[in-house]
Amino acid sequence: MRRLHTSKKKAIKWDPFYHNKLVNMFINRIMKHGKKSLAYKILYRAMKNIQKRTKKNPLLILRQAIFRVTPKIVVKAKHKKHKRGLTHKIPVEIGLLEGKVLAIRWILMASRRRTGRSMALKLSYELVDAAKGKGGAIRKKEEIIKIAESNRISAYIH
C-alpha cells in the first residue's frame, strides 16, 4: 500500500566552528568512509590557509567560490527508443540547492586532481582560484554550459 505522506526532507545542520550550513554541506561531501573528523580537519586547515594567503574572511571566499561555480543549467541524458537506443543530452534548468551540491562536487573533484602535498592545501588553492573565476571547477562549469548551448537546438527538434 502506498504511503499517504511523503517523507520530509532532511534539515541541513550547522557545523560547530563556523555555524554555517554551507560549510557542513562541504564537510559531508569531503567525507569518505564515514571519517567525519578527518573531513573537519581538511576543511578547517584549508580555511586557515585561505585566511593566511588572502587576509580575508575564508567564509566569504568559500561562498564566492561556490557562487561562481554553481551552474544554472545542466545536461541530462534522454534516451530515444525509436532511434536505436540513441541518447540525447538535453539542457535542463536546476534549482539552487542542486546547483550548490554540483558546485561543491566539482570543486572537490578539481582539488583532488591537483598536484600537491595535502588535500587541505589543494582545496584551499582550488577555492581561491574558483573565487577569482579560474581553476578546474570553473572550467567544468564552462564545459557544461558549452554542451548545453550546443544541444539546446537539438533538444527542441526531437
Count Cβ atoms within 10 A of the Cβ of residue 2 and give its class: 0-12 exposed, 13-18 middle, 19 or more buried.
Answer: exposed
Q: Quick count: other Cβ atoms within 10 Å of Cβ 121?
A: 16
Q: Domain spans of the chain?
A: 21-157
pLDDT at site 142: 95
Q: Are 151 and 136 in contact (CB under 8 A)?
A: no
One pLDDT digit (tens) per residue for the chain, 158 residues: 566 666 666 777 888 888 999 999 999 999 999 999 999 999 999 999 999 999 999 999 999 999 999 999 998 887 666 666 677 788 889 999 999 999 999 999 999 999 988 999 999 999 999 999 999 999 999 999 999 988 877 655 55
Q: b or e along 69-104 (b: 16 or more beta carbons within 10 Å of the residue's beta carbon)?
A: bbbeebbeeeeeeeeeeeebbbbeebeeeebbbbbb
User: What is the predicted pLDDT for the residue at 150?
Assistant: 87
**Letter string b/e over residues 7-42, b meaning 16 or more CB atoms within 10 A of that residue's CB:** eeeeeeeebeebeeebbbbbbeebbeeeeeeebbeb
Closest listed residue to residue 137, CA positions, set 157, 150, 123? 123
DSSP letter for each residue of 32-91: -TT-HHHHHHHHHHHHHHHHHHH-S-HHHHHHHHHHHH--SEEEEEEEETTTTTEEEEEE
CATH 1.10.455.10 fits 21-157, yes or no: yes
Residue 78, phi-psi category: left (phi > 0), alpha (psi -120 to 50), beta (remainder)? beta
Residue 2 has what pLDDT? 63
Give every CB contact of residue 71 below 8 A, 6+ residues apart in sequence: 94, 99, 102, 103, 141, 144, 145
What integer best gives the mean pLDDT of the chain? 88
